[in-house]
């Protein structure tokens, strides 16, 4: 069958943003090179003829594509914040795709897992981000274990956190429709949708106007510089920070095995010799180094960096969400507003933060400072010494006694505007 490139591409591309079913029908009736046409926005196509034909001008996307990065650290409230992006119907959201890269780069045969080559790892992180931002989800196949077969995998990390990966066209509901749009449960999506077809995921990505990715694996914002400078991307970095004392308390609850020494310290009031202070120290260092870089406004980051304190978001979710949406230059859709209303109510009967490791459904106001009732003063004092510069930079007050620590009517979050 003879296939006129231009006509077919025009047809296929034009239908992309509008109707997935249209593409399917077209693709089914076509053969040969046209099969790859859904990738026409991918900027890495080796054939230059393709690239010319697949110019962005063919894409019926109304506003230019936004590439949003939620740049955070473990237990800083990024699941919650990510939901503000995930709920937007025009955003294709992926939760921590870099997990797979880190797995591939980590030597799991040694008892303490360690990264083989940090510089190469950061390069691979950026490669994956760039490819995801251009909707090439097949690129993930280099890292997912076990290796996907026929572009299909059952091992996509935290798939349930991504609305787009659990709804049509990626997920063709089988049997009864379960209403589960924002349950934190990680099992429902693979159960309802079966294995993930990465080709369908790529197509879904292309049909959305914008892409948001959450990661806690990039250490510093300067590690993202080549991406902010890449002319093919319009990268917007939301830097989410949180009081390091709260981060520590949350990590102790979520990862109790890893934090056994800390828990002993917390329970006895005595610091064990073998407690590892390096992790929280580097968390603080990375957090303030990134904030300093961002607030200095270097040319490569200008207009692309927003510092958000989780505590401000928890206290004032609607205003902060509005600020985030203004920053990424998108309208905050009703669905986002509805999700906020449902998940941030002062509702003492909702599950506390630690009842589910990655729960986002909770009363954000109550949990933001609840760490103050869950950490011994001795630990707090130690973290304050390790992280004093970070606390000062981000506007978190130190406490000087156990009584001050436990007195919740005395807020430790200073009013700050990071503009």
Helix axes 244-254, 260-268, angle to 10 degrees: 110
Closest approach of ligand NAG to the CB of residue 349, in Å: 4
Cα angle, residue 262 at apex, residues 109 and 78 outer, rounded to 5°: 75
Euclidean distance between CA atoms 137 and 208, whole angstroms: 14
Cα angle, residue 401 at apex, residues 400 and 407 outer, rounded to 5°: 110
Paired tokens of 296 = 């200095």
Q: Which of 199, 204, 344, 367 binds ligand NAG (CB under 6 A)?
A: 199
Euclidean distance between CA atoms 246 and 248, whole angstroms: 5
Q: Which of 85, 129, 135, 200 binds ligand NAG (CB under 6 A)?
A: 200
Task: State the residue for tokens 């909702």.
Answer: 350
| 249 forms part of the interface with ligand NAG (CB under 6 A) | yes
Euclidean distance between CA atoms 74 and 248, whole angstroms: 9
| 57 forms part of the interface with ligand NAG (CB under 6 A) | no
| 107 forms part of the interface with ligand NAG (CB under 6 A) | yes
Binding piece for ligand NAG, criterion CB under 6 A, among 218-226, 297-305, 332-340, 342-350:
342-350
Closest approach of ligand NAG to the CB of residue 57, in Å: 25
Binding piece for ligand NAG, criterion CB under 6 A, among 4-12, 105-113, 118-126, 128-136:
105-113
- Strand bridging mode 210-215 / 67-71: parallel
Q: Which of 269, 249, 259, 258 is nearest to 352 (CA)?
A: 249
| 374 forms part of the interface with ligand NAG (CB under 6 A) | yes
Paired tokens of 195 = 């294995």
Q: Which of 109, 278, 299, 419 binds ligand NAG (CB under 6 A)?
A: 109
Euclidean distance between CA atoms 243 and 246, whole angstroms: 5
| 357 forms part of the interface with ligand NAG (CB under 6 A) | no
Element (DSSP H or E) covering residue 239: strand 235-241
| 415 forms part of the interface with ligand NAG (CB under 6 A) | no
Closest approach of ligand NAG to the CB of residue 262, in Å: 8
| 106 forms part of the interface with ligand NAG (CB under 6 A) | no
SS3 205: helix
Closest approach of ligand NAG to the CB of residue 337, in Å: 15
Give the nearest residue (CB) to ligand NAG: 110
Closest approach of ligand NAG to the CB of residue 303, in Å: 29
Site for ligand NAG in 255-314 (CB under 6 A): 263, 266-267
Q: With contact defined as beta carbons under 8 Å apart, do 95 and 85 qualify?
A: no
Binding piece for ligand NAG, criterion CB under 6 A, among 53-61, 91-99, 226-234, 405-413:
405-413
Task: State the residue for tokens 């950490």.
Answer: 375
Select 278 or 349, whichever has its Cβ closest to ligand NAG.
Answer: 349
Question: How many alpha carbons lie under 13 Å from residue 141 in its C-beta half-sphere?
Answer: 17
Binding piece for ligand NAG, criterion CB under 6 A, among 74-82, 120-128, 176-184, 401-409:
401-409
Strand partners, 237: 69, 305
Residue 292: partners with Cβ closer than 8 Å, 6 or more residues away: 393
Select 338 or 388, whichever has its Cβ closest to ligand NAG.
Answer: 388
Q: Which residues bind ligand NAG (CB under 6 A)?
A: 24, 107, 109-110, 116, 150, 152, 197, 199-200, 249, 252-253, 263, 266-267, 345, 347, 349-350, 374, 376, 388-389, 392, 403, 407, 409-410
């Amino acid at each position: 069958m003879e296939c006129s490139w231009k006509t077919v591409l025009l047809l296929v591309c034009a239908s992309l943003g509008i109707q997935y079913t249209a593409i399917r029908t077209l693709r089914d009736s076509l053969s040969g090179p046209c099969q790859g046409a859904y990738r026409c926005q991918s900027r890495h196509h080796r054939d230059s003829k393709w690239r010319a034909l697949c110019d962005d001008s063919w894409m019926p996307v109304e506003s230019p594509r936004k590439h949003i990065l939620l740049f955070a650290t473990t237990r800083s409230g990024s699941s919650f914040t990510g939901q503000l992006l995930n709920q937007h119907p025009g955003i294709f959201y992926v939760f921590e795709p870099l997990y797979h890269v880190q797995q591939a780069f980590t030597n799991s045969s040694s008892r303490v897992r360690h990264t083989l080559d940090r510089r190469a790892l950061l390069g691979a992180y950026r490669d994956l981000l760039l490819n995801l931002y251009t909707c090439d989800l097949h690129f993930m196949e280099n890292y997912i274990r076990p290796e996907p077969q026929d572009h299909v995998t059952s091992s996509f990390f935290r798939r349930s956190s991504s609305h787009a990966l659990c709804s049509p066209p990626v997920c063709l509901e089988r049997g009864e429709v379960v209403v589960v749009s924002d349950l934190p449960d990680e099992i429902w999506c693979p159960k309802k949708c079966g294995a993930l077809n990465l080709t369908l995921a790529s197509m879904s990505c292309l049909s959305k106007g914008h892409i948001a990715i959450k990661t806690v694996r990039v250490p510093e914002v300067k590690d993202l510089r080549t991406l902010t400078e890449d002319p093919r991307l319009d990268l917007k970095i939301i830097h989410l920070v949180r009081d390091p004392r709260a981060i520590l308390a949350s990590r102790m609850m979520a990862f109790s095995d890893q934090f056994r020494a800390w828990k002993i310290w917390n329970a006895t009031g005595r610091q064990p010799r073998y407690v590892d202070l390096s992790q929280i120290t580097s968390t603080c260092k990375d957090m303030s180094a990134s904030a300093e870089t961002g607030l200095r406004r270097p040319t490569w980051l200008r207009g692309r960096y927003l510092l958000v304190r989780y505590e401000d978001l928890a206290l004032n979710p609607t205003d902060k969400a509005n600020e985030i949406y203004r920053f990424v230059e998108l309208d905050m859709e009703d669905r986002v507003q509805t999700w906020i209303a449902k998940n941030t109510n002062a509702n003492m009967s909702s599950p506390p933060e630690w009842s589910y490791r990655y729960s986002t459904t909770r009363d954000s106001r109550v949990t933001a400072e609840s760490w103050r009732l869950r950490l011994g003063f001795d630990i707090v004092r130690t973290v304050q010494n390790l992280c004093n510069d970070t606390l000062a930079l981000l506007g978190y007050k130190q406490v000087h006694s156990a009584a001050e620590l436990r007195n919740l009517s005395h807020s430790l979050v200073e009013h700050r505007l990071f503009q």
